[in-house]
């Protein structure tokens, strides 16, 4: 019999790189003022919904995700666990550059999950491989309630893992969310995996 799981994944809300034409990736951008407010709203709305349930909280070390998780952790009284595997995909020499620079200097078009836009960048398959041990750990342990705060591309891979897809399927499909989106994943005691809600943006709104 499988352990029941309730996993809430959160894509960090508005970051400075969403507003200034720069690349996110491993560049350590902070949240904008709007993003900070959105993180506070996510925390408030989650608190209202999950009430007194006890959750573990895992987060990428990048500032935009970490600040989001700190806001949620403070509201829900949860200690953060920083996980390097939850970082966004590295774009190598494009880190710290603008989106326009990337378009003008890209070395390789990414047609499959194995392709790298630059020789020193990560492919999506590289991210899959670094994410997989963390995924296997939380799936196999006894923790029932888990919150994960991460980034768009990383969470799209997590969603595919959750549904039991092979990484090559991502050459044909994707499961992206949006900034500030909150997703609800559930595993039943029979081991059935469900995505109840994908990238729900109602949580970034104040009520």
Instruction: Report, as an integer, the average pLDDT of 104-108.
Output: 96
Q: Which CATH number is 63's domain given?
A: 3.40.50.1240
Q: Could you tell me which residue, 206 or 33, shows the higher pLDDT?
A: 33
Residue 97 belongs to a domain: no
pLDDT score for 106: 97
Find all residues with CB under 8 Å of 62, minimum gap 6, and list them: 26, 28, 29, 87, 88, 151
Q: Is the pLDDT of residue 17 over 80?
A: yes
Domain that holds residue 154: 5-90+124-204
DSSP 130-150: HHHHHHHHHHHSS--EEEEEE
Residue 27 belongs to a domain: yes
pLDDT score for 3: 86
Instruction: Please provide the average confidence, as pLDDT, over all residues in the chain.
Output: 96
Residue 136 belongs to a domain: yes
pLDDT score for 203: 97
Q: Is the pLDDT of residue 16 over 90?
A: yes
Residue 84 belongs to a domain: yes
Kindly report the three-state secondary structure assignment for every residue of 73-128: HHHHCCCEEECHHHCCCCCHHHCCCEHHHHHHHCCCCCCCCCCCCCCCCCCHHHHH
Residue 20 corresponds to which tokens in the numbers above? 């200034």
Residue 102 belongs to a domain: no
pLDDT score for 206: 87
SS3 173: coil
Residue 107 belongs to a domain: no
pLDDT score for 107: 97
Residues 153, 25: Cα–Cα separation, whole Å: 10
Residue 134 belongs to a domain: yes
Residues 180, 24: Cα–Cα separation, whole Å: 15
Q: Is the pLDDT of residue 207 over 90?
A: no
What is this structure's pTM? Answer: 0.96
| Residue-wise pLDDT tens digits, 127-154 | 999 999 999 999 999 999 999 999 999 9
Residue 99 belongs to a domain: no
| Residue-wise pLDDT tens digits, 166-183 | 999 999 999 999 999 999
pLDDT score for 52: 76
Find all residues with CB under 8 Å of 89, minimum gap 6, and list them: 25, 121, 122, 124, 126, 127, 151, 153, 154
Find all residues with CB under 8 Å of 112, minimum gap 6, and list them: 171
Name the domain count of the chain.
1
């Amino acid at each position: 019999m499988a352990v029941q799981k309730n996993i809430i994944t959160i894509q960090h809300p508005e970051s400075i790189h969403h507003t200034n034409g720069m690349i996110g990736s491993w560049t350590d951008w902070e949240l904008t003022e709007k993003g900070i407010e959105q993180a506070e709203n996510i925390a408030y709305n989650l608190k209202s919904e999950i009430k007194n349930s006890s959750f573990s909280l895992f987060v990428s070390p990048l500032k935009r995700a970490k600040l989001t998780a700190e806001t949620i952790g403070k509201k829900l009284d949860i200690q953060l666990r920083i996980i390097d595997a939850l970082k966004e995909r590295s774009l190598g020499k494009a880190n710290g550059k603008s989106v326009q620079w990337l378009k003008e200097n890209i070395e390789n078009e990414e047609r499959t999950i194995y392709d790298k836009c630059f020789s020193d960048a990560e492919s999506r398959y590289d991210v899959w491989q670094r994410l997989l041990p963390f995924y296997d750990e939380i799936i196999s342990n006894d923790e029932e309630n888990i919150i994960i705060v991460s980034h768009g591309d990383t969470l799209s891979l997590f969603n595919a893992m959750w549904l039991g897809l092979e990484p090559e399927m991502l050459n044909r499909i994707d499961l992206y969310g949006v900034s500030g989106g909150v997703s609800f994943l559930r595993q039943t005691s029979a081991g059935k995996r469900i995505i109840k809600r994908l990238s729900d943006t109602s949580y970034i709104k104040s009520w």
